[in-house]
Amino acid sequence: MIFLVLVLFGVQTLCPWAASRPTSEGPTELLSPSCDGTAAEEAADLALHHINAHQREGYILRLYRIFSVREHPQEITGSVFYLVLDVVDTKCHVLSKKSWKDCPARPAHTAVYGQCKAIIYINQARNIAHLNSYECTLQQVPPRYVWRVCPDCPVDDCPTEPKYLEAAAQSLAKFNHQSEETHYFSVLNVTRASMQWVVGPAYFVEFLIQETSCSKTDMIADISQCKPLAPEPAVSISCINTCVSGTGIPQGILSLPLWFFADRNQSPQAPFYGL
Read off the pLDDT of residues 166-214 as tens digits, 9 standing for 90 and up.
Answer: 888 888 888 888 888 888 988 888 999 988 877 778 888 888 888 888 9
pLDDT of 7 higher than 70 = no
Q: How many CB atoms lie within 10 A of CB 21?
A: 11
Residue 11, SS3?
helix
Q: To which H or E segment does residue 119 belong?
A: strand 112-123
Mean pLDDT, the chain, whole residue set: 77
pLDDT of 47 higher than 80 = yes
- Which of the 8 DSSP states describes residue 143? H
Q: To which H or E segment does residue 5 belong?
A: helix 2-18
Distance in angstroms (rounded) separating the CA atoms of residues 185 and 229 = 9
Distance in angstroms (rounded) separating the CA atoms of residues 9 and 114 = 7
CATH architecture, domain 2-147 = Roll (3.10)
pLDDT of 48 higher than 90 = yes
Q: What confidence tier does 12 reach under pLDDT thresholds 50, 70, 90?
A: very low
Q: How many CB atoms lie within 10 A of CB 85?
A: 25
The pLDDT score that the predictor gives to residue 230 is: 67
CATH 3.10.450.10 fits 155-263, yes or no: yes
pLDDT of 110 higher than 60 = yes
Domain with CATH 3.10.450.10 in the chain: 2-147, 155-263
